Chains A and B, each alone.
Chain A
């Protein structure tokens, strides 16, 4: 990965700031709660959700187990269909390849479909440095780009902005980039969308080069799939003469049939719809229909290192639906920016420290950006056990140990500045392996709950300085269970 957002403080400080931003919290709460309720309904419409989830998990695990085989197969099929395949070991290499390909067309501007992979490698900035202007065409990405902002959500990157803020950004910035905002623009979503339509249409109609990512790549047919809503994807994928797709190596599914699982689970998990308005698939090039030059850039950038970790590799199953963000109590309060990466929320907390390593302060702090409540695991359509990976990564940060970085085995030293955490982890482990102690501790805690401090005394202070201690329930679960015979006699 190209590194953290420049000057990004560690998660606790960034989150601390965000928690006190009332507008941000309001925008976020509204958005996540709306989408959460809708998603539950969309999922309840399919009676075989559990089976779809299990199949999705297994297809991805099966693919990851033989990733080398499927990568080679994919390359063969894409080439056979008329495409060209490039391999990029890291962000710099991917950026160099794309820049070179754009320059070969003689163009100095490109239109882009929203893509996490190109954000991850900082492609827009790399193109800018070479005199190539990249236009984001997804409405939310446009808002972020015009606002000189950073995305804060996987699916709705401008989720932290409300309609008034968006109106102001459009009015102020659109003229800098092309067609100005219409006179007297109000803040109704319909008018704002119309302004974006007009602003972007002139770019779509003249663009010669499109850049995209892909949601899936089918190994046996060489087909790429982009799932979207607005039609900006279709514009970028079909109007330009040259199409360049930058895709992480983990996005493969083995067969065409496998899409039947993900085309059912992805829309429902992300936008809570039965199906998103548009899905495009393309296999190489087609005569006289769409781009006549197609380049696929296969991106590693830390993925093979992540694959080397037996516990952590399950993060590579992620289909970027963003369901885990919308249910996460920590994300809801801290906001996406606090995670210091293009991957926010629970998935960001396990993916970023694996793709980038845990050397920086923010990456070392990310595995702690969770209450381990488990809601993210419950909603994940490919059943990634995010809490399990979080705990695993915490241990790695605290204790050090063998990891793979850029293909080489290295032994991590225990992180500096985490002495307090180390102590906390030791204490926690000790308590968990001594059930009697845990029981007594819980009882004592609940009996004295009104007396509990907001920060821990002594060596725990550094740890609790940046955290709110969770409230202690009035009665320990164990006692409740015994008192009510497992809930059968009616709880409290």
Chain B
């Protein structure tokens, strides 16, 4: 599996994920507080370089999804019928995280019957470890 190659701006996301927390970078300027994703050094609204990582509820909705088929990298080709989704966060609908909807946090990427995916479906975050790195996964809210 591909594990995240992080950079200085993105590293905190993965450090919080390792603690089971979904956090998004926010401007820390007193009158601003805008969320931004992907993380970057400064705020496009007020140009402050101060940032904090705000805890999200972990709830969201499927904005879109694809079902990739081979030719794929071997680890992904070995999970035929897997999904890749974009989840818009309930706390911040314009922040959309790529991920995978699975049946249990540690289940394979193709554990969910793809017929159960639909745009708008509510999901909640879970975390699992892949090759030593904790990554978010998504579970359908209604069973």
Q: Do A and B bind each other?
A: no
Q: Which residues does A use to contact B, with CB under 8 Å?
A: none
